[in-house]
Amino acid sequence: MLNMIRLDWSAMKYYQKRVFVVFIYLFIMGYVSPIYLAPSAVLVTFSFSLNPFAVEETGDLNRLYLTLPVKRNYVVTGRYVLSLIMVLCGILVGFLFMPLANRISFSKWYPSLEWILTITAFCLLFYALMSLFMYPLLFKLGYHKGKFWGMYVPLGIFAIAYVTFLTYNQLPGNEKLILNVLVYASEHMLLVSGGILILAAALLMISYLLSLKIYAKREF
C-alpha cells in the first residue's frame, strides 16, 4: 500500500507545484472570514487528491498498475489514505492560517479548543460526503465522467438544498432555527463532535467498501 501511495504521488508530479494554490485560496477565504479556512482547505485538498485519477486516465496507467505485483485493493486503499493525508494537512494549515486571517479579516474569530474539535469533525464529515459521491464513481467510470457525476451534480444539488434551507429559515416562525442549532451545539460540543465523527467514519467506510467492490469488478 505504501508503494502505491508513493507511486500515485510520483505520478502526479506535474500537479504538485499547484499545491501553492491552496495557500492563495486560503488567504482569500481568510480575508472573508477565519471560519471558512478549514472547510475551504478541505475542499481544495480533496480536489487536489483527485489528480492521480486524472494522470491514470491520461496515461492509461490502470493497465500498468495491474501488471505490477499489486493487488487491486492496494490501489483503492492507497488512494483513500493519500487523500486523507492531504485533507488532514489542509485542515491543519487552515487552523495555522487563522491568526493571520484575524489580522486582515473584518470578521474576527478566536475559537476555543472545543470549537476547533467541532469544526475538525465537520470538515471530516464534509470530506467523507465528498468521497462517498466521488471515489466509487471515479473507480467505476474514470476521471472525467466520474468527476462530472460525482462532483458537479452533487454540488448543484447541495447548492439547491442550501438555498431552499435558507429560504425556509426566513419564513415566519423559522427565523431562530439556525440559532437554536448553534446554541445546542455550543452547549453539547463533545456530544455533537463525537456524533459527527462517527457519522463521518461510517460514510467514509461505506465509500471505501463500495470502491473496493467496484474496482475489483472493473474491466480494462
pLDDT band at 16, cuts 50/70/90? low
SS3 220: coil
As given in the structure block, the three cell numbers for residue 30 are 481568510
As given in the structure block, the three cell numbers for residue 160 are 439547491
pLDDT at 135: 92
Output b/e per residue, 25-53; b: 16+ Cβ within 10 A.
Answer: ebeebbeeebbbbbbbbbbbbbbbbbbbb
Residue 121, classified by CB atoms within 10 Å of its CB into exposed (0-12), middle (13-18) or buried (19+), is buried
Which range, 19-23, 161-165, 205-209, has the best average confidence (pLDDT)? 205-209
48-64 pLDDT tens trace:
888 888 777 666 666 66
SS (H, E, C) 15-67: HHHHHHHHHHHHHHHHHHCHHHHHHHHHHHHHHHCCHHHHHHHHHCHHHHHHH
The DSSP letter of residue 105 is: -
> What one-character-per-residue DSSP string does 171-201 give?
STT-TTHHHHHHHHHHHSHHHHHHHHHHHHH
129-185 pLDDT tens trace:
989 988 998 888 877 777 777 777 777 777 787 677 667 666 676 556 555 666 667
CB 131 within 8 A of CB 204: yes
Residues ≥6 apart with Cβ < 8 Å to 170: none
pLDDT at 64: 62
Selection from 76, 117, 112 nearest residue 217 by Cα: 76
Selection from 180, 41, 185 nearest residue 111 by Cα: 185
The DSSP letter of residue 149 is: I
**Mean pLDDT value across residues 59-83:** 75
Mean pLDDT of the chain: 79
Higher pLDDT, 164 or 211: 211
Higher pLDDT, 42 or 17: 42
